Structure 1
Amino acid sequence: MSEPATLEAAPAGPPIDTPPVRFDPQAAQRRVTPRPRPWRWFVSAVVLVVLTQVVVGVFTNPRYEWHKFWAYFTRESIVDGVVVTLKVVALSALVGLVLGVLVALGRLSTNPLVNGLSWAYVWFFRALPLPLLLIITFNFSYFYPRLGVGVPFGPVFAEVRTASLTPLVIGVIALGLNEAAYAAEVIRGGILSVEPGQIEAANALGLSKARQLRRIVLPQALRSIVPAYGNQLVGLVKASSLVYYVSLLDLFGAVFVLESRHPESLVPILIVGAVWYLVITAALSVVQFYVERFYARGTVRVLPPTPLQRLRRLTVSSYVRLTRRGL
């Protein structure tokens, strides 16, 4: 029998002489200069020049009639329309969120009846155009003058006359039903984005389904839900202009009525409506930023700076540069 092979140590080579590292105080005081990027400055200058020309052209063009802007911007009918728009958006978002959570949980249910009904709800309300849904809701009292809760083929405990519903309620119901269909898919996608290992660990700990959803699944799912749902809310703001179909004077309706009464001021009135929608959307974007920043804790080492922090850093860095240059 042959003896097992043994590993032999490699012969040691000559020692390597490494020169000692010497500290150079002059090299330590040298500043690291970034690599010059002239094309970046050129592109920035071109964009800045074009942007300046656009802004100056808009504000110096007499056809925009800027001298009439503030009078229409603070007009009582316009402000009342803004308040109605905010009410419709807030109530519709609340109805859509609550109903969307229920439909999303139904879509994730293992019960075939609940899952099928939830899928049918999403399919139906996403297929209907929103103007058509508003018109159907507005004429709902024609088909069902009364709605009641009670025993089938028996006594009715509570009843409401659908003809007494106000345009605000009709608009909120239609927008809320439509919003819930899209919100359900956003919430379902966010829940499915949670790593399955998290749920398996929760099951191993013996947590109930409700506690798993509240303490483990939703906090992680909201990181994906908030950006998509914020985009959905911006779409809801624009969709709220369709409540004019149910005789509700929101911001769009107030602008439409005002420009029909003052056709000589059509351009400034339309600009007023556009600016108000931009203000509402900007406010929603700010809220979305802070909500995303809140739920980003634990996933990033450094939270994204707020606009105030960015301004402070820019001011401090500019002051430091000017101080070093002796200005």
Structure 2
Amino acid sequence: MSTPNLNGRGAGPASSPADPAAPAASVPIKAIRLRHPWRMVFAIVLIVVFALAIVDAAFRPAYDWPTVAKYLFDRRISQAALVTLELTVYSMVIAIVLGVILAVMRLSPNPVVKSLAWFYLWVFRGTPVYVQLTIWGLISLIYSSIDIGIPFMHPWVSFETNAALSTFALAVIGLSLNEAAYMAEIVRAGLLAVDRGQEEAATALGMSWSQTMTRVILPQSMRVIIPPTGNEVISMLKTTSLVTAVPFSFDLFARSRDISAETFNPIPLLIVASIWYLFFTSILMVGQYFLEKRFARGIGDRQPDKKGGGSNPEPITGVTVVPESEQAPATRSTREPGTGQGGPS
């Protein structure tokens, strides 16, 4: 601000304070992290409790860690672990195929087809899997033979049920039919998550129903289907321990139970089975993570650019600093030099 003299000319800058209309220099706010002392205390308590539990388990005689090490890689245990994987894979493949078929039936406009799919889901989701496996184990009492031919006429081919279906096959059938009911709802939810306009656009482009499903609907629904499907695979791996109801006694849990009956020491063998289950589920969880990441590309918020900013990026303060040179001219006030008259610039 300049002070005019008697002849109306500017006499240079005065020693008065700065013009209040002039913009103040922008200063970033210094963010101070809030302190949470009780959170730290709680974390320390958890660490201490966890460490004490580990130390207690390491020296507790009932766990018998030498026996655990002895049977962890026993040939019978490793073979049973392989059988458990086979049960899981076969059951999930059949369940996924049946689940897709049931989901399409549930979405069908035909009331008969939709009702049959709903009845299947009602039965297999409403009864415990252990009860279903027990019934499958007694299937030879219900159907003594498997007949192929025209109903109410002499069968063309007939098989004894016990000879045609092994306990392994019965275990796979029981697990897959139960799991198909849950997979049907997962697939149906994924299909319904895709906008209706996607199907209409594909139809307008001349795509057939199969092309629309395989190229438009299913790829977009996979990001909804993959996470619960991964959880179902992990759950199926653990559900295989119930096939003793068939009875099938060559899975991981049954073999470890049989060995413990010989050694009269069940706890170490249960730990051995748990370690194998944890090993398999850990691998499945890693695979599920990468599958979710693969099918979730392009979904969600855009990640911040990590390449810019140099070696010393500016701290995040929650305030955008605007340089003085970029501020609006209306916020400044100047006077015309030599006249003492003020006006907007």
Larger C-alpha radius of gyration, 1 or 2?
2
In structure 1, the partner of 2:256 is 255
State the shift of 1:142 in Å.
Answer: 3.0
Q: How does 1:215-254 map to 2 (within 5 A)?
A: 215-248=215-248, 249-254=250-255
State the shift of 1:129 in Å.
Answer: 2.1
Post-superposition Cα deviations, 1:85-133, rounded to whole Å, max 9, x if no partner, equal 1111111111111111111111111111211111111111122322222
User: How many residue pairs align between the two structures?
Assistant: 282
> Cα distance 1:38–1:268, how it changes in 2: closer, same or farther (>3 A)?
same
User: What amino acid does structure 2 have at the position aligned with 1:138?
Assistant: G
In structure 2, the partner of 1:290 is 290
In structure 2, the partner of 1:273 is 273
State the shift of 1:46 in Å.
Answer: 2.9
- For 1:16 and 1:133, how far apart are their aligned partners in 2? 83
Q: How does 1:108-257 map to 2 (within 5 A)?
A: 108-152=107-151, 160-164=159-163, 165-248=165-248, 249-257=250-258
Q: What TM-score results when the alignment is normalised by the length of structure 2?
A: 0.73
Q: Which of 166-175 and 66-75 deviates more?
A: 66-75
- The partner residue of 1:37 within 35, 39, 63 is 35
User: What amino acid does structure 1 have at the position aligned with 2:241?
Assistant: S
- For 1:262 and 1:196, how far apart are their aligned partners in 2? 61
- For 1:79 and 1:156, how far apart are their aligned partners in 2? 43
Q: Which of 188-197 and 202-211 deviates more?
A: 202-211
In structure 1, the partner of 2:11 is none
- For 2:127 and 2:273, how far apart are their aligned partners in 1? 27
- For 1:273 and 1:258, how far apart are their aligned partners in 2? 11
- Higher helix proportion, which one? 1
State the shift of 1:300 in Å.
Answer: 3.4
Q: 3-state SS of the aligned residue for 1:147?
A: strand
User: What amino acid does structure 2 have at the position aligned with 1:260?
Assistant: A
User: What amino acid does structure 1 have at the position aligned with 2:131?
Assistant: L
In structure 2, the partner of 1:324 is none
State the shift of 1:157 in Å.
Answer: 5.9
State the shift of 1:146 in Å.
Answer: 3.3
User: What amino acid does structure 2 have at the position aligned with 1:79?
Assistant: S
- For 2:62 and 2:135, how far apart are their aligned partners in 1? 41
> Cα distance 1:69–1:110, how it changes in 2: closer, same or farther (>3 A)?
same
Q: Which of 32-41 and 87-96 deviates more?
A: 32-41
State the shift of 1:277 in Å.
Answer: 1.5
Q: Which of 289-298 and 44-53 deviates more?
A: 44-53
> Cα distance 1:61–1:298, how it changes in 2: closer, same or farther (>3 A)?
same
Contact kept? 2:137, 2:247, Cα under 8 Å: no
With a CA cutoff of 8 Å and minimum separation of 6, indicate the structure with the bigger relative contact order.
Answer: 2
Q: How does 1:292-311 map to 2 (within 5 A)?
A: 292-300=292-300
- For 1:176 and 1:76, how far apart are their aligned partners in 2? 28
Q: What TM-score results when the alignment is normalised by the length of structure 1?
A: 0.77
Which segments of 5 or more consecutive residues in structure 1 lack a partner in the other structure?
1-14, 304-327
- For 1:285 and 1:99, how far apart are their aligned partners in 2? 24
- For 2:261 and 2:237, how far apart are their aligned partners in 1? 23
- For 2:211 and 2:230, how far apart are their aligned partners in 1? 26
Q: 3-state SS of the aligned residue for 1:298?
A: coil
State the shift of 1:176 in Å.
Answer: 0.7
> Cα distance 1:19–1:130, how it changes in 2: closer, same or farther (>3 A)?
closer
State the shift of 1:241 in Å.
Answer: 0.9
User: What amino acid does structure 2 have at the position aligned with 1:60?
Assistant: F
Post-superposition Cα deviations, 1:180-229, rounded to whole Å, max 9, x if no partner, equal 11111111111112222323332333322222211221122121111112
Post-superposition Cα deviations, 1:215-255, rounded to whole Å, max 9, x if no partner, equal 22112212111111222222212221111122322111112
- For 1:202 and 1:268, how far apart are their aligned partners in 2? 58
Q: 3-state SS of the aligned residue for 2:253?
A: helix
Q: 3-state SS of the aligned residue for 1:83?
A: helix
Q: Which of 158-167 and 170-179 deviates more?
A: 158-167
Q: 3-state SS of the aligned residue for 2:122?
A: helix
Which segments of 5 or more consecutive residues in structure 2 lack a partner in the other structure?
1-18, 304-345
User: What amino acid does structure 2 have at the position aligned with 1:51?
Assistant: F
